[in-house]
Structure 1
Amino acid sequence: MTRYVFIGAGAIGSAVGGLLAARGTDVLMVARGDHGRAMAAGGLRLRTPEETVSVRPPTVTGPDGVVLRPDDVLVLTTKTHQAEAAIDQWADVEVHDGDTVRGRAADLLPIITALNGVASEEIALRYFARVYAACVMMPAAMIDPGEVILRGTPQRGVFHLGRYPTLPADDPDRREADARWLSGLAADWDAAGCHVTTPDAVMDWKYRKLLSNLGNVFDALLADPGEAGDLRRAAEAEARRILDAAGIGYISDETDNAARRPHFSVAKVPGTPDRIGGSSWQSLMRGTGTIETDYLNGEIALIARRTGDAAPLNARLTALARRAARNGLRPGAITIDRLTDELRDALPGTSLPGTSLPEPV
């Protein structure tokens, strides 16, 4: 029986793992801090628009004492800036088949990179032979330890999953075996309320999600992120220009909207705050001291520099988010006027066209 091992079980990892556990699927949560202690002591509460479900998945803080099995699937759900440390910790853990040690996790087990951004796949590929990229569309939040708020309904989220890199077309046997494995995973996750599709061009989905996540910084810094419409459109327009110039493909807005619309919409969960932000907002709310913006807006700046270009607006936003996290600022600590002043010399001379992006997740 497949067991899903969620490494860095925060909002997304706890949400998917908890939903699977509620269906009787074998899971193992790997979590630290207050959230890990709360799950180990009292289980996990999943709050949805329709109901609250409590589960008690086995929870550990790391690989010590964990016996990995040949049918385990590792699911990485840390923030991207935490990914390499987590991957390094698990890559050389032994995989046991009864009393026999079969080898190392990195050689034998698949790892799914269910993170924002587009950098974790290359990080994982330095260690693991079988890497699967996951584009995550799931409005989940962890505000209190031991509890996850899931606002998607009727399904809780949509996941695009695919092998990284794509297997070559002239290797039909491996492609067929891979398709069968992904089909089994999709059946498990679909039954738990997480709709899974398995496109070949999974990174096109992740780059489209990257464009969406450029707005996370405004969600985190401003009391009313709706005031940042022009700034957000300018950041997205700058990013599209950089991706297009670098020849990097991404899914169209229409395809992206069509993928999520039949499966879920965001709804209010009774008894929760009116405003619940995305992953960057949650980092500032919890006062972690770090934020993933280096791998969101900062990814655009990196791509620009690699091609001899520049992305001054996204670069400046990256620095502001890093400073806010380092200084312990809470969400909404910066006014729109102050933010505009901070960004003024990085803004284009004229208003740039943009599109309406979905709520950050």
Structure 2
Amino acid sequence: MTRYVIVGAGAIGGAVGGLLANEGTEVLLVARGDHGRTMIDKGLTLRCPDATVTVPAPTVTGPEDVRLRSDDVLVLATKTHQADAAINQWADVGVYDNDELIGRAADRLPILTALNGVASEEIALRYFDRVFGVCVWMPAVMIEPGEVIVRGAPLRGVFHISRYGTAVDGEADAELLKSVQTDWTAAGCNVVLPDDVMPWKYRKLISNLGNAFQALLGDNPGAEELSEAARTEAREVLAAARIQVTSDDEERAARQDAAQVKPVPGTPQHLGGSSWQSLFRGSGNIETDYLNGEIALVGRRVGHPAPINSRITALARHAAHTGQRPGDVTVDQLRTALGL
């Protein structure tokens, strides 16, 4: 029986792991700090538009507390800027078949990269033989330790998943993907298995370019106008680099049901995405370097400057380092800083 080891059981990882566990699928959640300790002591609470459940899912704080099994599937769900450290930490952990040590995780186990951006697959491929890219569409938020708010209904989320890199054993990969599709569908998600997930991840990247604007502006109006300027610039950069991106129409159709974000009783009216959550919680870091910063990187590679995305990357990083909160910046201040 497959066990999903969720490395980084925060908003997305906690939502996926909690939904799977609630349906009887075996999981192991990995989380640090107060969030991890709360789940160890009290379980994980999932708050959805139509239900609230507390799941007593097994939880650990790191690989030192885990005995990996040959039937495990690693699911990486950290922020992208945390991915390299997390993968490095797990790559050399021993894997056992009953009581026999059969090798390292990097050689024996598949890893699913359920992160924003398009960099984590290459990071994982430096360590792991079998890497599966995951494009995540899931409106999940973690504000309080031990609690994840999942606002998607009727579907909880949509995931596009495919092998990253050339498969040595296509039959084994197909079997794994079908197993993931079956398990995650039973947990209330839609899992699509395209031949190549990366065009989907680049399309999601374009959407995620608005995360920094939402994080900086909070409830202040005007974020969408500025976000659209960053997206327009990004499309030009990706076209110049000849990077394939899933079309807007295809993307919209794929996540139509999951895009129905509904209110969850007893939660704040305004809840933001991953970058908003980083500033709201005062984490001191933010993943913008791998979102807007990815567009800046591609632009520099192909000689197509991306000044809006470059500047917002620096502004978001400064906000995280200096403890700014969502809404500390007005739209006029941000527009001036971006030269718009």
- Which residue number in structure 2 is paired with residue 358 of structure 1? none
* Aligned residues of 2:7 and 2:75 also touching (Cα < 8 A): yes
* Aligned residues of 1:136 and 1:158 also touching (Cα < 8 A): yes
**What fraction of aligned residue pairs are identical, expressed as a percent?**
65
CA distance in 2 between partners of 1:226 and 1:214 (Å)? 17
* Aligned residues of 2:218 and 2:276 also touching (Cα < 8 A): no
- Which residue number in structure 1 is paired with residue 17 of structure 2? 17
Q: How many pairs were matched up?
A: 340
- Which residue number in structure 1 is paired with residue 334 of structure 2? 339
CA distance in 2 between partners of 1:267 and 1:279 (Å)? 18
- Listed as ranges, the matches of 1:41-190 within 5 Å are 41-167=41-167, 174-190=169-185
SS in 1 for 2:190: strand
- Which residue number in structure 2 is paired with residue 299 of structure 1? 294
CA root-mean-square deviation: 1.1
CA distance in 2 between partners of 1:164 and 1:267 (Å)? 33
The AA in structure 2 aligned to 1:249 is Q
The AA in structure 2 aligned to 1:115 is L
- Which residue number in structure 2 is paired with residue 238 of structure 1? 233
The C-alpha deviation readout for 1:103-159, integer Å capped at 9, x for no partner, is: 000000000000000000000000000000000000000000010000000110000
- Whether 1:256 aligns to 2:255 is no
SS in 2 for 1:64: helix
- Whether 1:284 aligns to 2:279 is yes
Distance 1:9 1:340, change over 3 A: same
CA distance in 1 between partners of 2:302 and 2:262 (Å)? 41
**Unaligned 5+ runs, structure 1:** 348-361
**Unaligned 5+ runs, structure 2:** none
SS in 1 for 2:173: helix
* Aligned residues of 2:210 and 2:224 also touching (Cα < 8 A): no
* Per-residue deviation, 1:18: 0.3
CA distance in 2 between partners of 1:263 and 1:301 (Å)? 30
* Per-residue deviation, 1:8: 1.1
* Aligned residues of 2:220 and 2:330 also touching (Cα < 8 A): no
* Aligned residues of 1:154 and 1:264 also touching (Cα < 8 A): no
SS in 2 for 1:117: coil
The TM-score, its normalising length taken from structure 1, stands at 0.92
* Per-residue deviation, 1:310: 1.3
* Aligned residues of 1:156 and 1:264 also touching (Cα < 8 A): no
* Aligned residues of 1:207 and 1:250 also touching (Cα < 8 A): yes
CA distance in 2 between partners of 1:223 and 1:99 (Å)? 52
* Per-residue deviation, 1:196: 0.5
* Per-residue deviation, 1:264: 5.0
The TM-score, its normalising length taken from structure 2, stands at 0.98
The C-alpha deviation readout for 1:75-106, integer Å capped at 9, x for no partner, is: 00000110010000000000011121100000
The AA in structure 1 aligned to 2:270 is R
CA distance in 1 between partners of 2:322 and 2:236 (Å)? 32
- Which residue number in structure 2 is paired with residue 6 of structure 1? 6
CA distance in 2 between partners of 1:239 and 1:315 (Å)? 11
- Which residue number in structure 1 is paired with residue 264 of structure 2? 269
CA distance in 2 between partners of 1:91 and 1:293 (Å)? 25
The C-alpha deviation readout for 1:18-47, integer Å capped at 9, x for no partner, is: 000101111001100110111011111100
